[in-house]
Structure 1
Amino acid sequence: MEEYDLRDVAYERMSRGYESQWELMDDLFAWLDLRIYFFYQHHQWLGPKNDMRNMLGLVVSREEFEHNLVKAAQLGLNAQLEGGEAAQLEASHSTIQARLSRTEQEFPLNQLLRRCALDEFEANCVVLAYAGVLDKKYEKLFAYLQDDITKKSPTTSLAVQLFLPLEHTMEEYLSRFSRRDAFTALFDGERLTAGQLVLCPSVLEFLSTGTVAPLPGLRLFDGAAERPGGPLVIGQELARQLDLLFGEPGEQVICLSGGPGAGKRFQVEHLMARTGRRCVFASLDCDQQEERAREAVLIARLTAACLCCTHMERQDSEDRQQPPEEKLLQAILGLELPGEKVFFLSQLPIRAQLSRLSIELEVPAITEEERMALFRAFLGETPLEDGLTVEELASKFRFSPRQVELACRQAVGQAGLDGRTTVTSREMHQCCYRQVVHKLGDLASRVRPAFGWDDVVMPQEQKRLLQHACSHIKFQHKVYYDWGFDKKITYGRGLSILFAGAPGTGKTMCAQVIANELNMEMYKINISQIVSKYIGETEKNLQAVFNEAKRSNCVLFFDECDAIFGKRSEVKDAHDRNANVEVAYLLQQVEEHDGVCIMATNLIGNIDAAFMRRITYVVHFPFPDAAMREEIYRRTMPPQAPVSDDVDWTFLAEKFQLSGGHIKNIVLSAAFLAALENQPIGMAHLLRAAVGEMKKNEIVVVREELREYADLLDE
């Protein structure tokens, strides 16, 4: 090169270290340029007599063809260097190493070379590939040296020719790129298979920034710089066990199992924060699980982090959850993991024989006291309105820590947006139900409670019994935990109520009143979807109902429950035996259910005696007398409805002995009759509607019994 002189490394700065990675790369570029130039000099693609005016790879002259045919196989550059050239390269390399030894700060490039344990050849390959990204001039140089204008990235062959150590063969070092190890993991797998050295996006990002931003399913948590999402309110014993395990030397697989949102990842985050370590969380709920695991291992190696794999469960053909496959776990452990400790998080216990020592820890289901502590912690300084307590919330909603956190944050945030200093009961319950995920809608229909205590017309004794039943949920914590009944009553702590009475006496309405009073969602069970003619299917459906009810924290309402809670009979054939099994199984489910279960029947005599023992409250709904019927008429009529002055509620209540359901039909029918005539609701409308309701039930009304109102039927 007569007209241009190659740039040298900064020899004059050899006495001090590098101040930035770019300053280091500037010297590495100078060293690489010199090596590429010597390679260019010794390569002789066209032969000594060719003036190289033709573009390589595009025009092949006869002379070039003959020269390539007879020339010897290409050797590594180091074997072709003359004495002065080798000394010049060695001086450049020694200067860079001397400055690096005086550099106090560790740059991402140095960290990568050290954490991946790369030798000199491998480190040079990384520098070569990174140079093509930082400076576009190398794209043309690589294309020229490789005799292909489309090859803008260095090939494995070029890398071996440039950096092959003395007394080693091309085949020996080319074979390195066919391995799967920490070195080849730095490059794009598909491009490497094609013989091209292209660094992975995560590697490029780390070299530029020193870290890796979150990717789909992958996130780096830095315990020295980040804080977990909240305080470790519960699980102190589990945290102590994790501290002991993490402090022990040697390779370990720490398996944490527990339900969704139980706090498994939260515990690992707090462990990283306590120890000041990093952890890569890899969610493997994807199709390419092993590929994502490899990416996570690469990021963990680059950042000197632990690896934590989550969501490894699988679904069987019936959508039932199964533990992670042993094959997947072994594949992850075979990826040259960077640290001694690996975390596997699963909803189900991991029962697998692993190549590393594995420790199984289970995150226990949180107790009611722990839920109370979580509600208090996440509500913070924001109080609940009068009448609502964390004890009531903890007993109603058997939430995971994550669900408690989200519900409280939403409620507090909504209160702040509305300019309030307290969280209302309805708002808190709404935020809690937003965290509920269940499939109860497939087996039951949602009923939106529309009635309150003012809508109930029944004797005071029954009304007090209903209010007493509601207190069973509101004061559950005080009775069971403050007063010690939890040690005496170990199961069957749920609230089960049986409503018995004639049709239309208000059983369904009172079920809505209870749901409204407790601020709980209500689901009416569809008997047709529960009972099956196939053996075992009814029990399976019942189990699904109660399992989903446990997740949904709702009120279960069984209407016409005698259809499935009927008396067990003497076994005479297989049908009797299966029917008895269904009833027995249902009895067990009702007794073990911790939530609210309301059942209604018109025929209490058909209910099995063993079932009656398991009922917390039995409320009998009497047929309404005349005074109650008059009150039902008045309360059923909305305040805004136009009512004529000629309406005689007392006469209607005394003359027509009907239940509340029938009265509701009469009032509604009269309203439509009045709307048709564009008149206020009058006695004539109510009377015609009442006579029609009686006829519907095959009861004949004699005209003379209507006394002075008989003529209204003719209008």
Structure 2
Amino acid sequence: MTDLWTRLAAVEARVRQAVEKKLAGDPSPDDPFRGLYLTPEAVRRVLDPRPDPDVLVPAEPGSRLSTVAERFRLDALDVELLLVVLMPDVDARFERLYGYLNDDVTRRRATVGLALELCGLPQAGTGRFRFDAGSRLVAGGLVEVREPDLPALSRPLRVPDRVVAHLLGHDPQPDLVRVVTGEPKSGFVRRVGDALRAGIGPIHLRGEGGAHVATSALACAGLDAVVLDVAALVDRDHPALDAVVREARLRGAGLVVGPVELLVPAKTRLLRELAAHDDLPLVLHGRQHWDPHWTDRPVVPVTVPPDDREPPDSALNGYRLGADETRHVVSVATGLAALDGRPVADEHLRAGVRARNGAGLDRLARRITPSVGPDDLVLPDATRRQLDELVLRARHRDRVLGSWRMRPGGGRGRGVVALFAGESGTGKTMSAEVVAAEIGVDLYVVDLSTVVDKYVGETEKNLERIFTEAAGVHGVLLFDEADAVFGKRSEVKDARDRYANVESAYLLQRMESLDGIAVLTTNLRSNVDEAFTRRIDVIADFPLPDRVQRLALWDRCLGTAMPRGDDLDLEFCAERFELAGGSIRSCAVTAAYLAAAADRPLAMADVISAVHQEYRKLGRLVLPNEFGPYCP
């Protein structure tokens, strides 16, 4: 700060000298109309030769002014011009003085011509080009040239408020970015930091946790990180990007940008402009592979190893969360816990994870927030064990498939795929909802009617959109009645068979590279192609319930809130009516409506009538020996 005021005092001395000269040669200093016209005497003064340039004083080493000069590659003349333009922002007296020197009391800032004059430069010389759009002062965002329609020498100059604040020792949290001081680490992160320190870059980090690795690597290089809000930048005009680059330079920090997928293809220009700043440490990150055509400058692509992702809170194990996502989840969970009036619990954290999901996949699939748990299922023990195995795989896949590399090579993803096979109504969809609840994510049910298309290639495009959106979502993807798209390949007899097999081949490859959790359901397991079966991690069979399970289903579906009549015989229903769980639930709801219409407790007659209706829906015969004494 001392250096800045010393340098500004030198500028003030030159301004005083200029004012004294102007006063000494002014024929009418008390003229109330001065500044509104130009006298012949004033014309002769304009034609007088200019004084010799003053000696430029170098900035004091280590000061903010000298640091700005170094980071923006300013020479001594650039610094002097910057100080001249800065004066009205730090001393209000210079507004009036500059108005007098401009011969116009309304123009209270330095113009291009006045700045050149105060630095002893000829107005027709090369000094005027220090304020061109490509100059270090203007392109670096240190000086703004206003009113471009005026003649070049009359254009007013201004130092942006952010630059003034920095020179005066204040660095507020800026718009569009946040400033992060990372924590130095060893291993891969330190190697990236060493590369940045050596001037290698830009670097693109591909994989989960790229933002955290970027800030930690910059910390290893001794730099803070200016993290760009890419989503906000997409909606801004070009000048916002200049302000971001200026912020990084003012702080002597590296710039972290990502995920880059949000900028391509519509905003690829911004990536190209960012990469053009070869003096700025730049780290990009995202899930996609880097496309060398995005920038003219070569970018070094690096894949983030699984071990170097930021470990989340222990309660968030099993979720693939980066540093930013973890902060967001914890913040949302804290707010939800405060609304509940109790400490943060696992359900709050899980709700925070679900809150991270965008609406992109909602347009392609139906989102279900789980409202059931394992106790709501009535299944054989073998099926329950298979569901438990699916949950176990989902929670520990990063360690087993990532850190322990149990699925190496071949471009294989770290996804978990399950097949639920069984007749309609045996609990496949409900079980998928329970799995999602156990993992702590939402269930996304894909509507295959919106996926399958009769035109060649359209089904693959629809599925690719679903898989792409699902990659950024914490959820379980459910393909109900999946044999419609995952069916067996057939012998090629015509063009339709060939294209159908191409569709199946695409699905095989896409399921192999899946990074999420997918559940396929089918009514007939033999309909699913064996090649898909080989790629499935868990296969759960859902048989029709036996008598004991049917009794439990009847009791659970009727619930505890509805009054029951004395003649209700659920043992008889479980013994005689071989129905799946979905059909039993349908019967229970129909019987409840009949009891409500009669305004009485649920009676056995209501249940028998409901079962009779369900038989007709299923196309089954009503046999007297099956209904016994209740035969309608």
Letter of the structure 2 residue corresponding to residue 639 of structure 1: T
Letter of the structure 2 residue corresponding to residue 400 of structure 1: G
The alpha-carbon deviation at position 642 of structure 1 amounts to 0.7
Q: In structure 2, what is the equivalent of residue 403 of structure 1?
A: 325
Is 1:291 the counterpart of 2:274 in the alignment?
A: no
SS of alignment partner, residue 430 of structure 2? helix
Q: 1:684 to 1:198 in 2, by over 3 A?
A: same
Distance 1:488 1:270 in 2: 28
Distance 1:108 1:460 in 2: 71
SS of alignment partner, residue 459 of structure 2? helix
Q: In structure 2, what is the equivalent of residue 349 of structure 1?
A: 290
After TM superposition, list the pairs within 5 Å mapping 1:305-704 onto structure 2: 305-306=252-253, 308=255, 310-311=257-258, 313=260, 328=273, 332-333=277-278, 340=279, 342-347=281-286, 348-349=289-290, 351=292, 360-362=300-302, 364-367=303-306, 369-370=307-308, 374-375=311-312, 378-379=313-314, 384=315, 393-394=317-318, 397-404=319-326, 406-407=328-329, 424-437=345-358, 439-473=360-394, 491=412, 494-593=415-514, 595-699=516-620, 701=622
Given candidates 32, 47, 50, the residue that maps to 1:74 is: 47
Given candidates 40, 44, 53, the residue that maps to 2:23 is: 40
Distance 2:339 2:437 in 1: 25
Given candidates 230, 235, 239, the residue that maps to 2:190 is: 239
Q: In structure 2, what is the equivalent of residue 187 of structure 1?
A: 143
Between Structure 1 and Structure 2, whose CA radius of gyration is higher?
1
Given candidates 250, 262, 266, the residue that maps to 2:209 is: 262
The alpha-carbon deviation at position 287 of structure 1 amounts to 6.6
TM-score normalised by length of structure 2:
0.81
SS of alignment partner, residue 186 of structure 1? coil
Distance 1:344 1:133 in 2: 35
Letter of the structure 2 residue corresponding to residue 456 of structure 1: L
Q: Deviations over 1:439-497 (max 9, x none)?
A: 32222212343444443334444444444544444565787689985579995875443
Q: Deviations over 1:257-297 (max 9, x none)?
A: 13476334x44544554454566556673477753454455
Given candidates 93, 103, 106, the residue that maps to 1:150 is: 106
Letter of the structure 1 residue corresponding to residue 12 of structure 2: F
Q: 1:562 to 1:370 in 2, by over 3 A?
A: same
Q: 1:130 to 1:678 in 2, by over 3 A?
A: same
Letter of the structure 1 residue corresponding to residue 17 of structure 2: L
Distance 1:693 1:484 in 2: 51
The farther-off stretch of 197-206 and 680-689 is 197-206
Q: 1:73 to 1:419 in 2, by over 3 A?
A: closer
Q: Deviations over 1:633-662 (max 9, x none)?
A: 122111122111111223333444433222
Distance 1:485 1:330 in 2: 37
Distance 1:630 1:507 in 2: 19
Q: In structure 2, what is the equivalent of residue 217 of structure 1?
A: 176
Q: Deviations over 1:567-600 (max 9, x none)?
A: 2222111111111222233233334435443322
The alpha-carbon deviation at position 691 of structure 1 amounts to 2.4
**8 Å contact kept, 1:153–1:197:** yes
How many residue pairs end up in the alignment?
622
The alpha-carbon deviation at position 674 of structure 1 amounts to 1.4
Q: 1:76 to 1:110 in 2, by over 3 A?
A: farther
After TM superposition, list the pairs within 5 Å mapping 1:27-106 onto structure 2: 28-42=11-25, 44=26, 52-58=30-36, 64=39, 67=41, 71=44, 73-76=46-49, 78=51
Q: 1:501 to 1:106 in 2, by over 3 A?
A: closer
The alpha-carbon deviation at position 111 of structure 1 amounts to 5.3
The farther-off stretch of 196-205 and 113-122 is 113-122
Distance 1:195 1:492 in 2: 59
Distance 1:211 1:530 in 2: 56
The farther-off stretch of 106-115 and 523-532 is 106-115
The alpha-carbon deviation at position 119 of structure 1 amounts to 6.4
Letter of the structure 2 residue corresponding to residue 136 of structure 1: A
What is the percentage of aligned positions where both structures have the same residue?
Answer: 28
Q: 1:529 to 1:76 in 2, by over 3 A?
A: farther
Distance 1:548 1:448 in 2: 18
Distance 2:293 2:201 in 1: 13
Q: In structure 2, what is the equivalent of residue 9 of structure 1?
A: none
SS of alignment partner, residue 345 of structure 1? strand
Distance 2:408 2:275 in 1: 44
CA-based RMSD: 4.4
Distance 2:176 2:582 in 1: 55
**8 Å contact kept, 2:508–2:532:** yes
Q: In structure 2, what is the equivalent of residue 83 of structure 1?
A: none
**8 Å contact kept, 2:415–2:515:** yes
Distance 2:205 2:420 in 1: 38
The alpha-carbon deviation at position 343 of structure 1 amounts to 1.9
Q: 1:599 to 1:125 in 2, by over 3 A?
A: closer
Distance 1:519 1:582 in 2: 32
TM-score normalised by length of structure 1:
0.73
The alpha-carbon deviation at position 683 of structure 1 amounts to 1.5
Q: In structure 2, what is the equivalent of residue 6 of structure 1?
A: none
**8 Å contact kept, 2:214–2:256:** no
Distance 1:188 1:676 in 2: 78
Q: 1:322 to 1:459 in 2, by over 3 A?
A: same
The alpha-carbon deviation at position 508 of structure 1 amounts to 2.4
**8 Å contact kept, 1:407–1:428:** yes
Q: Which runs of 5+ in 1 are unaligned?
A: 1-17, 80-85, 222-226, 334-339, 385-389
Letter of the structure 2 residue corresponding to residue 133 of structure 1: D
